[in-house]
Amino acid sequence: MKPRILIVDDEKEFVETLAQRLTLREYDVTTAFSGKEAIETVRGYNFDVIILDVLMPGMDGVETLGEIKKLKPLTEVIMLTGNATVETAVEGMKLGASDYLMKPCETEDLVSKVQKAYERKAEHEERIRAVKVADIMSSPRSVL
């Protein structure tokens, strides 16, 4: 199964280009152009990794991050930031973002970070599954 990725940024062209590039690299990519739209999308689908811009009109990155973490705590979020807003990115990390990227970013860097985040999430889910399986094994009734 392809890793499912959501890209959120108000720069439409940037989002679309990045989406194309990631699609070329065999990712399942969805886009959103504002915080609100992103939350709506997250509500309906499960994503593995979300790339989230810090600075957006309306709902900003940190706020959006909070909402996403409330809805889907397991989703890995990578903050996307300019030079001026590194502090905001750090704040985002404290709130549960797994990593951050400086714009403009090296493609290889981005891809490796996305990959790492995806693997981390997979591992995480794997562990949860293992716990659940162990649980079921010890007490099959718990499935019910």
> Which residues inside 115-144 make contact with another protein, applying CB under 8 A?
none
Q: Is 13 in the site for another protein (CB under 8 A)?
A: yes
Q: Which residues contact 78 (CB under 8 A, 6 or more apart)?
A: 49, 50, 51, 52, 97, 98, 99, 100, 101, 113, 114, 117
Q: Is 93 in the site for another protein (CB under 8 A)?
A: no
- Spatial strand order of the sheet with 28-32 comes to 28-32, 4-8, 49-53, 76-81, 99-102
Q: Is 103 in the site for another protein (CB under 8 A)?
A: yes
Count of residues touching another protein (by CB under 8 A) = 22
Cα angle: 112, vertex 118, 120; to 5 degrees: 100
Q: Shortest approach of another protein to residue 25 CB, angstroms?
A: 8
> Which residues inside 55-84 make contact with another protein, applying CB under 8 A?
55-58, 60, 82-84
Q: Which residues bind to another protein, rule: CB under 8 A? A: 11, 13-14, 17-18, 20-21, 24-25, 55-58, 60, 82-85, 103-105, 107
